Amino acid sequence: REDLWVREGKILNPEKLFFDEKGSADIQLDCKDSIIAPGFIDVQINGGFGVDFSLATDDFKSGIDLVSQKILSHGVTSFCPTLVTSPPSVYHQVLPQISIRNGGAHGAGVLGAHLEGPFISKEKKGAHPEHCLRTFEAGAFQDLLATYGSLDCVRIVTLAPEMKRSSEVIQELTKRGICVSLGHSVANLSQAEEAVQHGATFITHLFNAMLPFHHRDPGIVGLLTSDKIPAGRRVFYGMISDGIHTNPAALRIAHRAHPKGLVLVTDAIAGMGLAPGRHTLGQQVVEIDGLNTYIAGTKTLSGSVATMDTCVRHFQEATGCSVETALEAASLHPAQLLGIEHKKGTLDYDSDADFLMLNDGLYVQATYIAGEEVWRQDALGM
């Protein structure tokens, strides 16, 4: 039941204003009992509204613009456009068109690309096209550079840690400030622990596209309670909390085992926000049936059509956690994962004024970026 003070795009410590400057607010806004929360950060989103980030097009930028505009209504104020496994030509064409930028009235901020693949396991490829998968050959890191073309705008790379020579690749990426995520993998626990010791900090959609938990070798899932994590390090893990990708019981198990590492991701595909039917995900055709998305003609799940605010509500309902905990999984934790928690993901003084107004049911009422209102639910509830 407090005030939030904002000036020049930042959250302000009002003591400065009152005592040092003897000032007062220029504009006052009655938030009518809303919850004010940090803006959501989606570190894994493959597209939406008919736009597929893994398709190389000449007007790729307008696709990014459309998605960043539309996800404001889901409470997302920054995101990592995600590319699934693709041929090198696609990375070479698409990556130069992604630029890191602040959010604003034009849409959510772009934090950099998340490259999910192609250095992943054939057994756990999920919806990724097998003919595009690659391994690290003699050059290891050079192979990765040749595949992607450039790492200038890359923020996260998902790879399978059991691949030969992955350790040196993880070290090289980490050195460059790129977050390494483990996923689409058949790694056992000791391979996963070794990857973390070399710098990996994230797990791509926990439980999906990895070996199931086994009591004698819990695999990547075992990182949640591993005692081999270097001191002062935290392993984060993404979860698609849409009620389809993970049974609510599995969501509860993960959350209770390691609550501070949980990062909600949508893993949304081009069909998010569109009618059921056929859409694309990179090189594949996918079929949307309700909230289920399958590779056409199969029962292989391929991304989701859930929105971030839906994931937050489902997570809170499934785990019975506090509202604060649910909101932090979509804001504070992804910011900590990317090392930007001094700017985003909190309502601390001096951080970016990216915040939401939500009602008690956690439905987004308004979205603000740098203190400016960029989206509001109109009176008709449209």
Q: Is 245 annotated as a binding residue?
A: yes
Other beta carbons within 10 Å of 331: 30
Whether the Cβ atoms of residue 278 and residue 296 lie closer than 8 Å to each other: yes
Nearest-angstrom CA–CA distance, 52 and 323: 32
Query: What stretches of the chain adopt beta strand conformation (E)?
Result: 6-7, 10-11, 35-38, 40-45, 47-48, 51-52, 76-84, 109-110, 113-116, 154-159, 179-182, 202-203, 236-239, 262-264, 277-281, 284-289, 292-295, 355-358, 364-369, 372-376
Q: Is 301 annotated as a binding residue?
A: yes
Q: H helices then E strands: how many in the chain?
A: 10, 20
Q: Is 205 annotated as a binding residue?
A: yes
Q: Is 155 annotated as a binding residue?
A: no
Q: Is 216 annotated as a binding residue?
A: yes
**Is residue 267 among the annotated active site residues?**
yes
Name the active-site residue from 42, 52, 242, 267: 267
HSE, side-chain direction, 13 A CA sphere, residue 281: 28
Q: Is 188 annotated as a binding residue?
A: no
Nearest-angstrom CA–CA distance, 352 and 335: 12
Nearest-angstrom CA–CA distance, 172 and 119: 15
Q: Which helix (H) or strand (E) holds 175?
A: helix 166-175
Q: Is 255 annotated as a binding residue?
A: no
Sign of CA dihedral 208, 210, 212, 213: negative
Q: Is 208 annotated as a binding residue?
A: yes
Q: Is 69 helix (H, G, I), strand (E, B) or coil?
A: helix
Q: Is 303 annotated as a binding residue?
A: yes
Q: Is 359 annotated as a binding residue?
A: no
Q: Is 21 annotated as a binding residue?
A: no
Nearest-angstrom CA–CA distance, 205 and 288: 20
Nearest-angstrom CA–CA distance, 78 and 101: 9
Residue list, annotated binding site for substrate: 127, 208-209, 216, 245, 301-303
Please give the positions annotated as active site: 267
Residue list, annotated binding site for Zn(2+): 116, 184, 205
Residue list, annotated binding site: 116, 127, 184, 205, 208-209, 216, 245, 301-303
